Protein backbone atom coordinates (compact mmCIF):
# COMPACT_ATOMS: atom_id res chain seq x y z
CA UNK A 1 0.00 0.00 0.00
CA UNK A 2 2.80 2.42 0.88
CA UNK A 3 4.59 1.72 -2.40
CA UNK A 4 1.39 2.33 -4.34
CA UNK A 5 0.92 5.68 -2.58
CA UNK A 6 4.53 6.60 -3.26
CA UNK A 7 4.09 5.80 -6.96
CA UNK A 8 0.89 7.84 -7.08
CA UNK A 9 2.54 10.92 -5.57
CA UNK A 10 5.52 10.56 -7.88
CA UNK A 11 3.21 10.29 -10.88
CA UNK A 12 1.21 13.34 -9.80
CA UNK A 13 4.38 15.40 -9.42
CA UNK A 14 5.70 14.22 -12.78
CA UNK A 15 2.43 14.97 -14.56
CA UNK A 16 2.17 18.43 -13.00
CA UNK A 17 5.76 19.25 -13.88
CA UNK A 18 5.52 18.01 -17.47
CA UNK A 19 2.30 19.93 -18.12
CA UNK A 20 3.81 23.15 -16.79
CA UNK A 21 7.08 22.62 -18.64
CA UNK A 22 5.28 22.01 -21.92
CA UNK A 23 3.13 25.09 -21.47
CA UNK A 24 5.65 27.59 -20.07
CA UNK A 25 9.10 26.25 -20.90
CA UNK A 26 11.69 24.76 -18.61
CA UNK A 27 13.28 27.98 -17.35
CA UNK A 28 9.96 29.65 -16.54
CA UNK A 29 8.64 26.88 -14.27
CA UNK A 30 9.42 26.92 -10.54
CA UNK A 31 9.28 24.17 -7.96
CA UNK A 32 6.58 26.21 -6.19
CA UNK A 33 4.39 26.06 -9.31
CA UNK A 34 4.89 22.32 -9.62
CA UNK A 35 3.95 21.61 -6.01
CA UNK A 36 0.94 23.92 -6.15
CA UNK A 37 -0.31 22.22 -9.30
CA UNK A 38 0.25 18.76 -7.78
CA UNK A 39 -1.27 19.79 -4.45
CA UNK A 40 1.71 18.82 -2.31
CA UNK A 41 4.36 20.62 -0.26
CA UNK A 42 7.89 21.53 -1.32
CA UNK A 43 9.14 19.05 1.23
CA UNK A 44 7.16 16.28 -0.44
CA UNK A 45 8.59 17.26 -3.84
CA UNK A 46 12.13 16.94 -2.50
CA UNK A 47 11.39 13.50 -1.06
CA UNK A 48 10.85 12.32 -4.62
CA UNK A 49 13.09 14.52 -6.76
CA UNK A 50 16.29 16.48 -6.21
CA UNK A 51 15.31 19.17 -8.72
CA UNK A 52 12.98 19.89 -11.63
CA UNK A 53 15.73 18.55 -13.89
CA UNK A 54 15.46 15.26 -12.01
CA UNK A 55 11.75 15.05 -12.87
CA UNK A 56 12.55 15.20 -16.59
CA UNK A 57 15.48 12.79 -16.36
CA UNK A 58 13.41 10.24 -14.42
CA UNK A 59 10.53 10.54 -16.90
CA UNK A 60 12.86 9.93 -19.84
CA UNK A 61 14.56 7.01 -18.08
CA UNK A 62 11.20 5.39 -17.34
CA UNK A 63 10.12 5.92 -20.95
CA UNK A 64 13.35 4.29 -22.14
CA UNK A 65 12.71 1.25 -19.96
CA UNK A 66 9.22 0.94 -21.41
CA UNK A 67 10.46 1.22 -24.98
CA UNK A 68 13.16 -1.36 -24.32
CA UNK A 69 10.62 -3.80 -22.89
CA UNK A 70 8.31 -3.33 -25.88
CA UNK A 71 11.13 -3.90 -28.37
CA UNK A 72 12.40 -6.94 -26.47
CA UNK A 73 8.92 -8.47 -26.62
CA UNK A 74 8.78 -8.34 -30.43
CA UNK A 75 9.40 -11.58 -32.35
CA UNK A 76 13.09 -12.19 -33.03
CA UNK A 77 12.72 -12.60 -36.81
CA UNK A 78 10.49 -9.55 -37.29
CA UNK A 79 11.82 -7.00 -39.80
CA UNK A 80 12.62 -3.56 -38.29
CA UNK A 81 9.94 -1.82 -40.33
Compute the distance between CA of residue 42 and CA of residue 46 in angstroms, rounded to an integer: 6
Question: Mind listing the pLDDT tens digit for each residue in 17-31?
Answer: 999 999 999 999 999
pLDDT at 49: 96
Class of domain 2-72: mainly alpha
Quote the pLDDT of residue 28.
Answer: 97
User: What is the distance between the alpha carbons of residues 3 and 55, in angstroms, rounded to a whole number?
Assistant: 18
pLDDT, one tens digit for every residue, the chain (81 residues): 888 989 999 999 999 999 999 999 999 999 999 999 999 999 999 999 999 999 999 989 888 777 878 788 888 888 877
Q: Where are the domains of the chain?
A: 2-72
Output the pLDDT for position 62.
84
Amino acid sequence: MAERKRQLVSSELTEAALQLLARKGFDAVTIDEIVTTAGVSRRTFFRYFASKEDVVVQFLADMGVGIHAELAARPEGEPPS
